[in-house]
Amino acid sequence: MPIAHDFDYIKPATMEQTIELLNQENKRISILAGGTDLCNMLKNGFRVPDLMIDIKALHELNVIKDNNTDIFIGALVTFSELINSDIVKEKLYILWEAAHKVASQGVRNRATMIGNICSAVACMDSAATLLVHNASVHVKSVNGERKIPVNEWFVDNKKTACLNNELVTGVTLEIPQKKYASAYEKQMRYAGEDLSQSNVGILVQEDKTYRIAFGAVGPTPKRSLKIEHFLQGKELTDSIIAEARQMIETVIAPITDVRSSKEYRMQMTKVMFERGLRTAIERLNNLI
């Protein structure tokens, strides 16, 4: 299907040039990295940019950088690169797991994690990682650089805190300094490629603190501090897990759509929470 309207294309060589270009109020601008979402939006006419800025020449954004206390992932890093990264596999296992479940190889070879974060659809696979690793999103504009904490980043379904003249350059993920393990669980209609109908991210630390994130069961993905507090410091016996599982009913409000009913989303979130939690604990125990 052709794209019915025309637009300009620029592939700037430098960051300065890019943010200059972005700073044009009278233009509708689309940023192109992997393009796997953008291309469809243009074909369907959901977006009609005047200008498309291809940022693939900004090689400094194609990095995964380990700073010990945190890891920076640049805007050009694809899901395949995340899967092939030892840093990610070792320190961001939840992301490594989630990346495998993004679409298919042919898409992962192009699609970027930052693109996923910018689309901010409720079902995105990266959200759980961002939430349990206390991420901050780096954005740049002519006015300088901002780091937006993840809990401020998601404003609504498909809406982020990014301003029109800002470029997302990457994301920083905090690495706990105690022993920790994580797990990602995704509700899918089958084993093959699917958008998540709901998802759960779990991070557990050796001091028995827990981070729990729920995705696709509200307009934006979010942590559940209520369940985290409840679990805090506790040994996870069957009955504690069962109690925490029951609390899910009070912390999420899933909806019914063409992909799943709210009842099934609720049930699956509970099951995934329990399974993810047990998996993460098992992983933690295996570390020691």
Q: List contacts with other proteins (CB under 8 A).
A: 1-9, 11, 32, 35-36, 39-40, 42-43, 52, 54, 56, 80, 100, 103-107, 109-110, 189-195, 258-261, 263-264, 267-268, 271
Smallest distance, Å, CB 137 to other proteins? 24
50 or 228, CB closer to other proteins?
50
Cα separation, 57 vs 103, in Å, equals: 25
Q: Which one, of 94, 131, 96, 103, lies nearest residue 37 by Cα?
A: 103
In the complex with other proteins, the residue whose CB is nearer, 25 or 238, is 238
Burial tier of 230 (Cβ tally within 10 Å: 0-12, 13-18, 19+): middle
C-alpha angle with apex 227: 246 to 149, nearest 5 degrees? 140
CB of 16 to other proteins, least distance (A): 22
Question: Least distance from C-beta 252 to other proteins, angstroms?
Answer: 17
Angle between helices 262-287 and 238-251 (to 10 degrees): 140
Q: Which is nearer to other proteins, 134 or 279 (CB)?
A: 279
- Least distance between other proteins and beta carbon 59 (Å): 14
Q: Are 99 and 125 in contact (CB under 8 A)?
A: yes
Q: Which is nearer to other proteins, 35 or 176 (CB)?
A: 35
* Burial profile 269-279: b = 16 or more Cβ within 10 angstroms, e = fewer: bbebbbebbeb
249 or 263: whose CB is closer to other proteins? Answer: 263
Provide the minimum distance between the beta carbon of 96 and other proteins in the complex, in angstroms, as a whole number: 14
Quote the least distance from Cβ 273 to other proteins, whole Å. 12
Contact (Cβ atoms closer than 8 angstroms) between residue 203 and residue 182? yes
In this structure, what token pair is assigned to residue 39?
Answer: 């291309």
Helix (H), strand (E) at residue 140: strand 136-141
Q: Residue 32: in which H helix or E strand, if any? A: strand 29-32
Judged by CB, which is closer to other proteins: 191, or 287? 191
Distance of closest approach, residue 237 Cβ to other proteins, in angstroms: 17
Pick the closer one to other proteins by CB: 63 or 107: 107
Q: How far is the CB of 54 from other proteins (least distance, A)?
A: 6
Q: How many residues does the chain have?
A: 288
Q: How many CB atoms lie within 10 A of CB 100?
A: 15
Q: Of 9 and 233, which has the nearer Cβ to other proteins?
A: 9
Q: Which residues contact 95 (CB under 8 A, 6 or more apart)?
A: 82, 88, 113, 126, 129, 133, 173, 184
CA atoms of 114 and 62, how far apart (whole Å):
11
